[in-house]
Amino acid sequence: MKKLIAISLFSLFLIYGCGQKEKIVKIETPYGDMKIKLYNQTPKHRDNFLKLVNEKFYDGTIFHRVIKDFMIQGGDPDSKTADINAHLGEGGPGYDIDAEIVSGLFHKKGVLAAARESDSVNPKKKSSGSQFYIVQGNVYTKESLEKSVKRINDRRLSRFRSKYFLKHAKDFEATQKDGSKAIKALSDRLLKEVNELFKAKELKLSKEQIEAYTSVGGTPHLDGEYTVFGEVIEGLDVIDKIAEQVTNREDRPLKDIKIKITEVK
């Protein structure tokens, strides 16, 4: 009986969670407004973003990193009073958020995603507590998309192999005394192992991803690497207007693009 009750409660939770209305926020900029829905599939990021929005954390911050055909980034609290020559991108609320990288949420144009530090210092891909980016990206042909995915997987496999072989450095040291044949045998075995392991990690695009990247565009090389937690539902053209702005060497617009974010009730 207890087991049946537990299953029933879990089923109700799933029904409620899946049917829960998505929260909407509005980002006001000098180039127009964007309305963004926050995904329920990424509750930690959704709730944290709403918390900061309602605390007016973002009001007066700027899009401090803008790269045409890639993305526009904001959310650094240090940008509120930063000198035009100040280096930005390090500020935050003092905490990170556990990654919520969900299959099916990908980097099509207009998605909202969390910025983070690189894998070298952040292997668990934890997100910045406040910094975010909105994707512009490029529109691909099917042929160029296939080539891009191959390049992405080649780079990822190369990094994966390097880490795997480094992990087995002591095995190579121990094998050196047995000669070159033994070293080659070990190398061949590890190479076979790493190739098999990588199959579960390589980028494979769904029909939905292919359709999006060949129509509205996006940045497929970020898929599986960063948490996507929302998407623009009104004001996609605002992204293009911001991405057109002239920037300095650090990709900061020469004219500050201040923002205000509010929850749409």
Summarised one tens digit per residue, pLDDT across range 100-138 is 999 999 999 999 999 999 999 999 999 999 999 999 999
Calculate the alpha carbon distances from 158 to 155, 164, 187 in Å: 5, 10, 15
What is the Cα–Cα distance from 45 to 43, expressed in whole angstroms? 5
Instruction: Give the H/E segment covering residue 231.
Output: strand 228-234
Using pLDDT thresholds of 50, 70 and 90, give the confidence band for residue 6.
Answer: very low
What is the Cα–Cα distance from 247 to 216, expressed in whole angstroms? 24
Backbone angles phi, psi at 61, to 5 degrees: -75, 170
Six token digits for residue 16: 């409620």
pLDDT for the residue 239: 98
Share of the chain above pLDDT 90, in %: 77
Six token digits for residue 140: 């691909």
Q: How far is CA 51 from the centre of its chain?
A: 20
Say if residue 5's pLDDT is above 80.
Answer: no
Give tens-digit pLDDT for 45-64. 999 999 999 999 999 999 99
What is the Cα–Cα distance from 37 to 130, expressed in whole angstroms? 17
pLDDT for the residue 19: 66
CA 229, 234, 236, 238: dihedral to nearest 10 degrees? -110
Give tens-digit pLDDT for 173-231. 888 888 888 888 888 999 899 899 988 889 999 999 999 999 999 999 999 999 999 99
Please name the residues in contact with 15: beta carbons below 8 A apart, sequence gap of 6 or more.
Answer: none
Share of the chain above pLDDT 70, in %: 93
3-state SS record for 121-177: CCCCCCEECCCEEEECCECCCHHHHHHHHHHHHHHHHHHHHHHHHHHCHHHHHHHHH
The residue type found at 98 is: D
What is the Cα–Cα distance from 109 to 72, expressed in whole angstroms? 11
Please, what are the domains in the chain?
21-139+216-264 (2.40.100.10), 143-198 (no CATH)
